[in-house]
Amino acid sequence: MNSQLSISVPGMVPCLAFLALFHALPAAADAPAGMVLIKSKGDSFTMGMAPSEYRTGDPWAHYENAHKVSFTYDFYMDTAGVTQGDYKASTGRTPSKHLIPGEMRLPVEQVSYYDAILYFNARSRKEGLDTAYSYKTVIKSATGSASDMTGLVFNLKSSGYRIPTNAEYEYAERGGAKGTYFFGLDAAEANKAGPDYVWWSGNSGGVTHPVGTKKPNGYGLYDLVGNLFEWCNDFDAPYPTADDVDPVGAATGGSRVAKGGSYRNDITGHMRIKYHYKWGPASNHLEVGFRGARTVTGVTGIGSQNRSLSPIKLRSSYLLGNGVPGIQGLSDGAVYDIGGRLTRATDRKIWIIPLAQ
């Protein structure tokens, strides 16, 4: 609704009452745009495989230790993988091998694990969220890809965007299904139904395809299997045998987990919910992309129409074009502190949001 509001800011003449568009904070159950709320809090599932499920010839995937995993939090997950358009808009880079002129909905690939971290930290800062990763230095290759980070620390409880954990990815991929595949109880069902849900070697034509063009899983998530593998946050390491709560994987390691299978793979082997592969974190492989996740913390970010922790204090006020009174020099999406309220500038209007402590 539109409302009249008079605001006084130290060091400036109070501006005339101006049009302020009030916006209610979203309920905790509301997912940010382009994401799905995964209600994992208080739930558990069996991660890993029993010996009878283990396939000879998969020595790289240490998933034979079946164990109970529980969550104490809900999380959001991107509906689809990060696209070439998303990635270019944020970084200015077009690293992908698979390109179609004018088609920016293809999933970005040939991006390292560290490239994904840089992308998500930038996305978090843009929306006024805490970053999920901190580091001291970034080392980049001649192509501009991030090949290493020193002092890297991951914070699962941050409000910011991040790479999903292996456990989160497997839980989300299942989408409530009970079978070996989210689209089939067994290989026979998967081979029959799979082509409706996944881009694989039998229907891809040897290339990636625009995201969201196959059917989603039970949670409304697209391309969690097929099209591209996607980075997970965990180091590749043997699973524990004991029950685990909110797992983030081993503390140290070499390669990082990637899940989902790609356009070059079969359905029955690579598209299993419990399957994963691995790559070195500096790898720029043409089969690997990524999507974002966020822990539900109650702070959903100014970009998602919520509060910011670091507002910019204003010292002057002027008209902002189109006859709409506002603040001089507003940056779209930036957050400002006016008279004890947080405001966000978007589409040349001021969004007024009560300051929450």
From the list 272, 256, 65, 242, the residue with the least C-alpha distance to 174 is 272
Structure confidence at residue 301 (pLDDT): 55
Q: What type of residue sits at position 202?
A: G
Average pLDDT of the chain to the nearest whole number: 79
The total of other beta-carbon atoms located within 10 Å of residue 271's CB is: 28
Token pair belonging to 193: 């139904």
> 324-346 burial by CB neighbour count: b if 16+ within 10 A, else e?
ebbbeebeeebbbbbeebbbbbb
CB 202 within 8 A of CB 72: no
Say if CB 204 and CB 263 are below 8 A apart.
Answer: yes
Closest to 259 measured CA to CA, from 282, 286, 291: 291
What's the pLDDT score for residue 178?
86
pLDDT of residue 64: 72
Q: Report CA-CA distances (Å) from 73 to 178, 245, 269.
A: 22, 10, 31
- Spatial separation of the C-alpha atoms in residues 313 and 331, rounded to whole Å: 13
Tokens of 157: 């409880």
Q: Are strands 325-326 and 335-338 parallel, antiparallel or unpaired?
A: unpaired
DSSP 267: S
**Dihedral over Cα of 158, 139, 97, 127: its sign:** positive
- Residue 176: how many other CB atoms lie within 10 Å: 9
Residues 183 and 177: their CA atoms lie apart, in Å, by 8
Task: For the chain, list residues with pLDDT below 50.
Answer: 1-29, 60, 302-357
Terminal alpha carbon distance of the chain: 24
Q: Do residues 233 and 248 touch, judged by C-beta distance below 8 A?
A: yes
Neighbours of 46 (CB within 10 A): 12
The DSSP-derived string for 278-321 is EE-TT---TTEE---EEE--S---GGGTS--SSPEEP---EE-S
CB 27 within 8 Å of CB 35? no
Helix axes 113-126, 84-91, angle to 10 degrees: 70
Domains of the chain: 2-25+311-354 (no CATH), 35-295 (3.90.1580.10)
pLDDT at 1: 39
Would you list the DSSP string of 236-251?
A: P-PPPSS-EES----S
Supply the pLDDT for residue 232.
Answer: 98
pLDDT for position 59: 53
Strand 335-338 versus strand 312-313 pairing type? parallel
Cβ atoms within 10 A of the Cβ of 144, count? 11
The per-residue pLDDT for 3 is: 35
* 173 phi/psi in degrees, rounded to 5: -60, -40
Report the pLDDT value the prediction gives residue 264, as an integer from 0 to 100: 96
Task: Look at residue 309 in the predicted model and tell me its pLDDT.
Answer: 29
Name the residue type at position 312. Answer: I
